[in-house]
Structure 1
Amino acid sequence: MTKARAAKAEATGESVPVEYDGAVYTVPTPMDWPLDVLDLLEVNKIIGALKLVMGADQYEEFRTSKPRTLSDATKLWESVAAASGFGNAGN
């Protein structure tokens, strides 16, 4: 997603699509993320942040795709961050 498209989604309150490993998830823009997401990211708890941003159903869908490593979750987080205009995962 381009920065302009992410900005438009944020302005209109739209969710943004996140493509990862052949699946498409939908997440809110960062301005609509619970503050707990930032607290989790501050202590590098990527899994908890993913659960909050994606919601339980989509996170479970990700888990059923059999991710094997923390690297898989980190790559998904980086996709979420990029698609939503959040930037990088801090790594």
Structure 2
Amino acid sequence: MPVSRKRATASKRSQASKARKAEALAEGADVEFDGETYTIPPYEEWDIDALEAMDDQRYTVAIRGIIGDDQYSTFRSRHSKIGELEAFLTKLMDVGDGKGNS
């Protein structure tokens, strides 16, 4: 396959991925993590404090602000390690494509 055709195919996949992420932000999404499903609300419903916490690298506050107290309590009851928190945050940001981090 010629290089230009490979680039076009990769570009189409990238555009499709961005479209799925944009849709998830607009509509909300479910995120599966360690056998539990967490619901992320649409981006417009995220609390400004959560975004500011993300900017300030206060990730536990940001996660709690995005998924809410009940879901955060569920997460904390099952996970107590920083690595687990980082993996969960990565999952959340994969859905949001890092949009909350300026």
8 Å CA contact retained: 1:18, 1:79: yes
8 Å CA contact retained: 2:54, 2:100: no
Match of 2:22 in 1: 7
Q: Distance in 1 between matches of 2:50 and 2:97?
A: 15
Residue 69 of structure 1 deviates from its aligned partner by 1.5
Match of 2:56 in 1: 43
Q: Give every structure 1 segment of 4 or more consecutive aligned residues whose post-TM-superposition deviation is greater than 6 Å.
A: none
Identity level (%): 28
Task: Output one character per residue of 1:19-39: Cα deviation in whole Å (capped at 9) or x when no partner.
Answer: 111211011233331111121
Structure number with bigger Rg:
2
Q: Distance in 2 between matches of 1:38 and 1:88?
A: 6
Long gaps (5+) in structure 2: 1-16
Q: Within the alignment, does 1:64 sit opposite 2:64 as a pair?
A: no
Distance 1:33 1:20, change over 3 A: same
TM-score by length of 1: 0.77
Q: Distance in 2 between matches of 1:88 and 1:10?
A: 11
Residue 88 of structure 1 deviates from its aligned partner by 8.9
Q: Distance in 2 between matches of 1:87 and 1:25?
A: 18
Match of 2:13 in 1: none
Normalized per residue, the structure richer in helix is: 2
Long gaps (5+) in structure 1: none
Distance 1:88 1:15, change over 3 A: closer
